[in-house]
């Protein structure tokens, strides 16, 4: 994230994770912690598929992190978020 955020032309970040062994709820928690710790103020779009996907989705509710259920939706939402900046 630090490397991506160094580029001032980045207007949104789309994170795509297929969690087989890696639990999606752990990834969601890590994303939220990174956002807070790094002070990320650009839109984050997240697609998490796999183990504990529902828990991940639940933990992202109420945040400004955009959850996408598929790749196409994620790309569209990232583009929309970037254009809104």
Model pTM score:
0.88
Residue 47: name the closest of 6, 2, 78 by CA: 78
- d(CA 72, CA 21) in angstroms, rounded, equals 24
- What's the confidence (pLDDT) of residue 81? 95
- d(CA 44, CA 67) in angstroms, rounded, equals 9
Residue 70: name the closest of 81, 57, 61, 58 by CA: 57
pLDDT tens by residue, 47-77: 999 999 999 999 999 999 999 999 999 999 9
Residue 64, CA distances (Å) to 9, 35, 40, 74 in order: 21, 10, 11, 15
């Amino acid at each position: 994230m630090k490397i991506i955020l160094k580029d001032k032309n980045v207007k949104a970040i789309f994170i795509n994770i297929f969690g087989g062994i890696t639990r999606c709820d752990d990834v969601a928690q890590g994303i939220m912690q990174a956002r807070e710790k790094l002070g990320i103020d650009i839109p984050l779009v997240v697609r998490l598929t796999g183990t504990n996907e529902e828990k991940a989705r639940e933990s992202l509710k109420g945040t400004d992190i955009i959850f996408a259920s598929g790749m196409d939706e994620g790309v569209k939402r990232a583009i929309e978020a970037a254009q809104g900046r």
